[in-house]
Amino acid sequence: MKITIVYDNCLAKAGLRTGWGFSCLVETASAPPLLFDTGADGVTLLHNMNQLGISPGSAGTIVISHGHGDHTGGIPEILAMNKEAKIYVPASTKARIPGREVVLVSQPLQISEDIFSTGELGGIEQSLAIKTAKGVVVVTGCSHPGVGDILKAASHHGKIHGILGGFHGFRDFSQLEGLSLVCPCHCTQYKKEVAHRFPEQHVACGAGLTLEIL
């Protein structure tokens, strides 16, 4: 399994652009690539995809964590270049896109062989639970429902190996103990504290970062 950070407010690779928002591409052996969130604007999103060698049309699935603009801003541009992707959005957004298959997510569901949605938690946000040989990797948007509740929901699919994405104002760091990967991204208030508390597990997030978990 491979995760590439496409959009973030920090930079991990020269030549890319930053912005206040989040997007990542998830690649597994069992399904076409999945684009999780679209950042705050399509110009930055498409620029970074081009620099990373990612074709906008390659995503077979687009999953939106929640309806805030820093995660949905690139939708018009990506859909203009990708006519086939199935789209999953939290039910609370009530999103409708004419001519496109849109799944309104309320309960936990399976997206592909190894990728699951936690369902809409807290009435606002869904996260991904991805099965790997090392355990479940959780991908979050902003963690508005709380990192603890997200990890609990994802744990139904197996032992949690790691978590990547926005942690919002999360600071109950004890809930991250035992994880092998901790990668706080956009919209994480206590990044420095996480890095200090988990020096061996911590990975600094930024546009262009690639993580491979085999």
- pLDDT > 90? residue 5: yes
Q: Which domain holds residue 176?
A: 2-212
For residue 211, what pLDDT is reported? 98
Phi and psi of 115, rounded to 5°? -120, 130
> For the sheet containing 2-7, what is the strand order?
102-105, 86-90, 61-63, 31-36, 23-28, 2-7, 210-212
Give percent of the chain with pLDDT exceeding 90. Answer: 96
- pLDDT > 90? residue 99: no
Residue of 6, 3, 9 lying closest to 187 (CA atoms): 9
Q: What is the pTM of this model?
A: 0.98
Euclidean distance between CA atoms 183 and 202, whole angstroms = 6
pLDDT tens, position by position, 117-155? 999 999 999 999 999 999 999 999 999 999 999 999 999
Euclidean distance between CA atoms 51 and 152, whole angstroms = 36
- Measure Cα distances from 89 to 96, 106, 162 in Å: 10, 9, 23
The encoded tokens of residue 79 equal 């859909």
One DSSP character per residue, 97-136 reads: -TTS-EEEE-S-EE-SSSEEE---BTTTB--EEEEETTEE
Residue of 31, 45, 47, 66 lying closest to 144 (CA atoms): 66
For residue 78, what pLDDT is reported? 97
Please state, as a whole number, how many other Cβ atoms lie within 10 Å of the Cβ of residue 190.
16
Euclidean distance between CA atoms 106 and 85, whole angstroms = 20
Domain count, the chain: 1
Check if the beta carbon of residue 101 is closer than 8 Å to that of residue 60: no
CATH code, 153: 3.60.15.10
DSSP state of 188: B
Three-state DSSP at 207 gives: strand
pLDDT tens, position by position, 44-93? 999 999 999 999 999 999 999 999 999 999 999 999 999 999 999 999 99
